[in-house]
Structure 1
Amino acid sequence: MKRALVISGLTVVVFAMGYIAGLRTERTRPVPAPPAPLMAEFTGKAATGPAIATAAKPSGPQAASSRSPQNRAQLVAEIERLRPQIDSYRQRLDQIDAEFDGQLAAILTPEQRIHYASGQKRRAQRMAKGFAEVAAGVTPLTDDEIDQLRQRSLSGVLWMVAPTMKHDSLVKDLKLDAEQQIKARELLKQRREKFLAIVDSTPPPSILLSRLAPAVQRIAADPAKDTQARR
């Protein structure tokens, strides 16, 4: 029962993060001009073009983005405080993945094994490149980029707690037969249980911040100040 609640909760969090990010983006879009007052054409008080433009254009403090800025100092402090747990979380995930790959290889044909190993190698290279690019960047991360890295952390969680997604991908990619599909599904369930054991012993922020930790030096800087300094 507890595990079912954890799985449901993690899934909800993943989709909630995507929804919240969408709201943050939506709030940055320009606001359209307000409609002319009702019956204004009969009262001689119809708003002119320039007046409408002026009303629609924010001024003063309202000219700044309406979105809530990231508290960068607090975020950096949280990452540094939880870094041991974040590093441990990543290492344990790698261990689970390695165990799963070995167990899956045992049920594959030689041809399937080669195909799967090749795909995993490309995936590892792609992820390593992505981590390196984020860590080596010199420009400060924008608030949107910080949100995106958080979402990537949670996307990985979804693949762990929803084995059907991974199972369907394996069936399609490796063309598993009926017996292999049954065994693969069982291996994925075992992988999920191992992951949930990690979740039970890992502070939730450690999971959420796992993709941000390598880029902590790019979070501390203010992108607005960096832009001004480059002018």
Structure 2
Amino acid sequence: MGFQIHYSRPQILFKIPPISHIPTKLFHHTTMSSISISSVVPEQTPKPNVYNVKFKTLDACKLGISRYPDFEYNAQGGKGSGVGKEMVGVDFNGETSVDFDVKTLYIPPLTSLTTKFLGLPLPPFLKIEIVPEIFRGIINIESGKVDLKFKAKFWFSVGSIYKAPPLLVETLLTSEDSKGSLRNGNGERLDEHGKCKLVGVATVEQIDDFLMNSFLDLPTECLAVLNATITFSKD
């Protein structure tokens, strides 16, 4: 339906384009202005949980190297602390990234007080110190699975008479299975009290010491079996 307006004076005609030909830009601004501001503000992503993580070593541990029988090792008294950050995303389910501060990490040395070999205490003055350099990885709080990269130097000494260059040991301490060509071990996942058994097989390379290379038949494999507790808490 249309209508006409008659003027008594000469008309100035304006040609109004059909609606279908009006540029879409004229509608774009109106449409955007009608949208609620809250609908275009992105949702806040929940912050991941952050934990204080405590690590303690227990007794009934083992250390083995080459084809020698395992050392029986009481590591009770070892401890460390770190920070755990929950990993978020569709691919993660209870996994937490954990990084222990090696400055706070203490693992008791192997001495006649802590270690037995073939049922007998280590000889007096023989000492093996463990100096950690890296201890971090992933712990699944839901399933109890633990995978921690462990790197440390092992210092062998006999009193003040002899001190060998350090053996560098780098392995994955895991609550699962760890297998090498000479050694293997079976771990246990975290229980409701945070107790677990971590195992790791590592290759130990030769060092600049003929005596140690010959005695231990380096390069060779070593096995660590470590009973521990790992607990999580929030501030």
TM-score (ref. length: structure 1): 0.23
More strand by share: 2
> Rg larger in 1 or in 2?
2
